[in-house]
Amino acid sequence: MTRKVFVKLLGLFALLLIFHAAVMELVFRQMLPAGPVDTFHRLTREALWSGLIALAAALPVAAWVAFGITGRLRQVVEFAHRIAAGDLTARLRTEDDELSSMESALNQTAVQLGQSFAEIENRRQELATMLDSMQEAVVAVTAEGQVRWSNSVMQRIAGTPIRAGRPLVHSVRDPDLLACVKGALETAEVKTGRSNSLAPGRIFEINAAPLPSGGAIAVLHDVTRVEAAERSRRDFIANVSHELRTPLTSIQGYVETLIETPAANPETAREFLCVIQKNARRMSRLTEDLLALAGVESPDYKLARQPMRANALVEDALESLGGLIVDSGVELESAGAPDELVLVDPDAMNQVFGNLIENALKYGGLGRKIRVGARKIHTDVEFFVQDFGPGIGSEHLDRIFERFYRIDKARSRESGGTGLGLAIVAQIVRAHGGRIWAESELGSGATFWFALPIAVPAAPVETSSKTASA
C-alpha cells in the first residue's frame, strides 16, 4: 500500500514537472519572440533543471507523506479485521488531523457494537437460564429439522447428548415428539401430542409450535404425577364405592326382609339384626379409617413431637394394646429395644403399633405369637412387629402399603378389614421422616419394619454460679 501511494505521488510530481516545463517554454517564447535561439534554449534548460531539483526535493516529502497516510490506513484495515473477527475491544489511536474524525467515528461504532453484543449476550444468558430453570423440557429446531438449542431438562430426558446443528431424529427417537415437530414445520400450526416412550415410566404432553423466523419449538410437560394422581383418585373412588356397596346391600336386604315379615321368628330377627349391626360396624370402621387417612395425608397434618426412648415406646405399645389379643389366644411378647431417643408423636405412634399388631393378629394369628421390638442401625432405630403366620408372597411386598390393597380379599372382608390400616401407618411413619417396609417368606411369617431417625439431644446449657464469702 505504501508503494502504491508513493508511486501515485511520484507520478503526480512528474506530471507537474512536465506541465512546469511546458509553461516555462510558452512563457519564454512570449517573452523572447525575436531573441537569440541560444538564450532561449539556455533558459529552457535552467527551467528544466530547476524542476528536476524541485522534484528531487519533493521525493522525501512525498515518501514521508505516503508512509504516514498508509500507516494510518493500515491501522484502519487492522482495526476492521479485528472487529470482523469479534474483537470488539479494538480501538484506533486518533490524532489531530484530517483522518481523526473518521477514526473517532470508527471507535464510536466499535463501542456501540460492543454494547449491543453485550446486551444480546446478557439476554441470551438470561433466556438460557430461564429455560434451564423450567420444569418443562424445551427443544427448538430449524426449518430443516436440525437442533437450534435445548434446555438441560430436555438433555436429561433424552438420555443422549442433543447437539446443536444435528438433526433432532439423531438424538431423539420418540415417534410422537418427532411427529409433532414435523407437523408444526410442515403446516406452520400448533401440534399437540402425548409421549409414553420418551423416558421409561413417564408421560409427557407435547406442544410443538412454529417459530416466526422459521423452524419450530417443542415444549414437553411431565404429567406423570398428574396421571398417577388421577388414576389413584379413580381407584380410590371405585374402592370406596365397592367397600360401601357390600355392607349397604347386606343391610338393605336384611332390613327389607324384616319389614316384609313383621311376625318373624325372634331368633331369626335377632340373627338378622346381628348381621345388620356387623355391617354397620364395618361401615363405621371404614369411615373412621377414611377420615384418619385423609387426616394424615393432608398438608395441614401436624405432629406433636416429643423425645421418647425407643424401649419406652415398645413397652407402652405392649401395655396399651395387649387388650386386643386377650381372647385370641395369641401371645404378645417384647423382643427388646435400645435406649435411644426418637422424636415422635406418642398418639400417632400408638396408632402405628395398634394397626400393625391388629394386622398381625388378623393375618398371622395362626402362629400364636406376635413379637414387638426395636434395634439400632447406624443413625436410625428400626422398630418391628413380627408374626409367625402363613407369610406374604414376595410379589405383594412392594404394594402392601397401598390403599385398599389386599392379599386375600375374601379373608379381609370376612375379618372386617378395610384395606387402609397399613396405608395409614405408612403415611404416619413418613410424616415422622422415617421409612417403612415388610419382609416375609411363605410359611415363615411376616415382619413389618419402620425406621425413625435418632434424635440428637440438645446441648446442655452451661450455667455459672458465683459464691461470695462474707
Per-residue pLDDT tens over the stretch 176-188: 989 999 999 988 8
Residues 348 and 417 in one domain: yes
In a domain, 102, yes or no: no
Q: What is the CATH number of the domain that holds 140?
A: 3.30.450.20
Residues 190 and 276 in one domain: no
The pLDDT value recorded for residue 470 is 32
Residues 275 and 318 in one domain: no
pTM listed for this prediction? 0.54
CA distance 364 to 362: 6
Q: Which of 315-324, 370-379, 451-460 has the lowest mean pLDDT?
A: 451-460
Residues 209 and 284 in one domain: no
Instruction: Write down which residue in 222, 241, 264 finishes a domain.
Output: 222
The pLDDT value recorded for residue 81 is 76
Residues 157 and 244 in one domain: no
Evaluated on CA atoms 321, 322, 325, 331, the torsion sign reads: positive
In a domain, 217, yes or no: yes
Count of structural domains, the chain: 4
In a domain, 458, yes or no: no
- Cα 227 to chain center, whole Å? 19
Residues 238 and 377 in one domain: no
In a domain, 463, yes or no: no
- Determine how many CB atoms are found less than 10 A away from the CB of residue 363: 22
Residues 279 and 352 in one domain: no
Instruction: Write down which residue in 179, 204, 222 finishes a domain.
Output: 222
- In tens, the pLDDT along 387-429 reads 888 888 888 888 888 887 777 665 555 555 667 889 899 999 9
Q: CB of 13 within 8 A of CB of 55?
A: yes
Residues 207 and 186 in one domain: yes
Instruction: Write down which residue in 222, 246, 280 finishes a domain.
Output: 222
Side by side, the strands of the sheet bearing 435-440 are: 331-334, 369-377, 380-387, 446-453, 435-440
Q: CB of 305 within 8 A of CB of 434?
A: no
Q: Which residue has the cell 482495526?
A: 79
Domain span including residue 261: 232-297
Average pLDDT over residues 2-20: 61
Q: What is the CATH number of the domain that holds 380?
A: 3.30.565.10
Residues 314 and 420 in one domain: yes
44: phi > 0 → left, psi -120 to 50 → alpha, else beta; which?
Answer: alpha
CA distance 174 to 210: 19
In a domain, 142, yes or no: yes
Which position has the higher pLDDT, 243 or 316? 316
Q: What is the share, in percent, of the chain residues with pLDDT greater than 70?
A: 73
Residues 349 and 262 in one domain: no
Residues 37 and 72 in one domain: yes
Q: What is the CATH number of the domain that holds 242?
A: 1.10.287.130
In a domain, 237, yes or no: yes
In a domain, 460, yes or no: no
Average pLDDT over residues 338-359: 90
At 344, list the grid cell: 415422635
The pLDDT value recorded for residue 462 is 47
In a domain, 125, yes or no: no
